[in-house]
Chain A
Amino acid sequence: MNFFISNPTIGEPFIVMVTNGTTSFVPSDPANTDYQAYLAWVAEGNTAEEWNPDAD
């Protein structure tokens, strides 16, 4: 599992999660377990890089 940040031309930045080759969009909802995993990942010292869709 890896996390990125996307900065779309419209809307707020959002978290991109890549798991086993599947790319998903994670909302910043504390009750969302993927967001909880993202926060834990950041707490471990990781920093999400800019999402490059072409790199998927």
Chain B
Amino acid sequence: MPIDFPNSPANGATFSTGDKTWQFDGVSWVLVASNASIGNSAITEAKIASGAVTADKIGALAVTTGKIDSNAVTAGKIASNAVTEGKIDASAVTSAKIAAGAVVEAGIAANAVTTGKLGTDVQLGYRNVVINGAMQIAQRGTSVSGITTSGYRTVDRFQFQVGTMGTWTQTVETDAPFAAAGMNKSVKVLCTTADASPAAGDLVAFVQRIEGQNLQQFLKGADSAKQFTLTFWVKSNVTGTYIAELLDADNTRQVSAAYTVSASGTWEKKTITFPADTTGAFNNDNDTSLTVAWWLGAGTNFTSGTLQTTWVSTVTANRAVGQTNLAAATNNYWQITGVQLEAGSVATPFEFEDFSTTLRKCERYFEKTYEQGVNPAAATNVGFVGAGGPDGVANFYAFPTWRYRTEKRATPTVTIYDIAGNSARITTWQSGFSTNNVTPDNGNWTNGTTAHAVLENGAISGFYYQAVSSAEL
């Protein structure tokens, strides 16, 4: 069929009929487009000139996911700033689509991470319910030998329990996994008299007791109860199986877990996730609710059953099954540091604290008038508490008050010392001379915030004393 082109067209004019379009170039009509169907495979990459496909030639909605080959889109084909938040579907980015190491600090805009974008279960701070886990604070001293009974000896908040099983030396060491974990100190127990055949009720353990009001984040006793994740670094010259245990003092329940010291004399990091317990809430008070225990030796009373790895009412025989006997030979030792107990199944990095924060936490349980680094009962007057008046007062009466830096967990036990280190004694002062080993009239005026020593009817001009207060669990 002939085509009836317009007469006298202007240069650039177009004419369409049927499925074709022509354009007048000043001399003749040139075919420029056809809507005729294009067969499959008609257009191949080789037929498209470089630069031929530009954004204005692609219809809106023309590019759909189904038209893009897998792996067709590479980083080199995406212009800088081409991907904006509005072009990404909600839920399109999942963790499986992000390569390890892909997200780096430089790739996160300032202020991009806000609290609202963090999961509701994330506890950003105060995750570690163990106090002094880095073994930084040791107010009582750094070395005690001849230990045959239980007590708080060196590092604060940790009690070394010995039940007729060997003799021990406990020390604070600078040997610690610094390069691996940033720890500078550890605590060490060394067997100096062995007990290779302990009696049924004998035990050796290292424990920390925790107040119930500091444990509520575990939701224990609720349907939504959380797991307990315990992390620590350990080193021993005795390889084998050791038992860590959680004891619920409020509900008489417990759970144990075995860990292995694999290599002699080598710092090893251990992480144990204990199950959640939907039975028995922790009391929200200032008494012991949870004891974290590291067994070091146990008689058959504690080992004759089957190790209890889920929370149940306490069965003594199931508490320490399989425990290696650290007391089997002299010079056996066990060291620990970097202790963290937190809610949930994830072991987060150790929560470092500044020294003063940890010290204040420890002082809720034990405080002294002596300087840090000076052991109680040392012969020193630095830090003393005292009261004075003019010489020659016949009936001197005073009760100089020691106000604690930190209020105590409970009314504390108070031990006062004269400046020569004699307990239950004070030092008097008159006319330039000190007298030690003087018995006060009363030393029990203590509450959670202060302690007094009292002297009456002394022909002196003053007296002073050192003291420690203990409200340990």
For B454, list chain A residues within 8 Å (CB). Answer: 8, 10-11
Q: What 1/0 mask marks residues of chain B from 427 to 458 whose CB sits below 8 Å from any chain A CB?
A: 00000000000010111111100000010100
Q: Is B423 at the interface (CB under 8 A from chain A)?
A: yes
Asked if B411 and A53 sit within 8 Å, CB to CB, the answer is no
Q: A10-B454, A11-B454, A23-B424 are in contact. Are A17 and B444 (CB under 8 A)?
A: no
**Cross-interface CB contact of A6 among B444, B456, B472, cutoff 8 Å:** B444
Tell me the B residues contacting A by CB distance below 8 Å: 286-287, 377, 409-416, 423-424, 439, 441-447, 454, 456, 470-473
For B410, list chain A residues within 8 Å (CB). Answer: 29, 31-32
**Cross-interface CB contact of B413 among A9, A10, A17, cutoff 8 Å:** A17
Secondary structure type dominating chain A contacts: mixed
Tell me the A residues contacting B by CB distance below 8 Å: 6, 8-12, 14-17, 21-27, 29, 31-35, 53-54, 56
**Cross-interface CB contact of B456 among A9, A15, A26, A32, cutoff 8 Å:** A9
* CB-CB nearest 7 A-B residue pairs: A14-B444, A31-B410, A23-B424, A29-B411, A24-B415, A8-B442, A27-B411
Q: 14 A–B contact pairs at CB < 8 A?
A: A8-B454, A9-B441, A11-B445, A15-B444, A22-B423, A23-B415, A23-B423, A24-B414, A24-B470, A27-B447, A32-B411, A32-B471, A56-B423, A56-B424
20 A-B pairs besides A29-B411, A32-B410 with CB distance below 8 A are: A6-B444, A11-B442, A12-B444, A14-B444, A17-B413, A22-B423, A23-B415, A23-B424, A24-B414, A25-B415, A25-B444, A26-B444, A27-B414, A31-B286, A31-B409, A32-B411, A33-B472, A34-B470, A35-B413, A56-B423
User: B1 to nearest A CB, angstroms?
Assistant: 108
A-B contact count (CB 8 A): 77
CA distance A10 to B273 in the complex (A): 54
Residue of A nearest to B417 (CB): A22
Q: A10-B456, A32-B471 are in contact. Are A27 and B413 (CB under 8 A)?
A: yes
CA distance A27 to B414 in the complex (A): 8
User: B469 to nearest A CB, angstroms?
Assistant: 9
Asked if A22 and B444 sit within 8 Å, CB to CB, the answer is no
**Cross-interface CB contact of B441 among A8, A21, A25, A27, cutoff 8 Å:** A8
For A15, list chain B residues within 8 Å (CB). Answer: 444
Asked if A25 and B446 sit within 8 Å, CB to CB, the answer is yes
CA distance A33 to B409 in the complex (A): 11
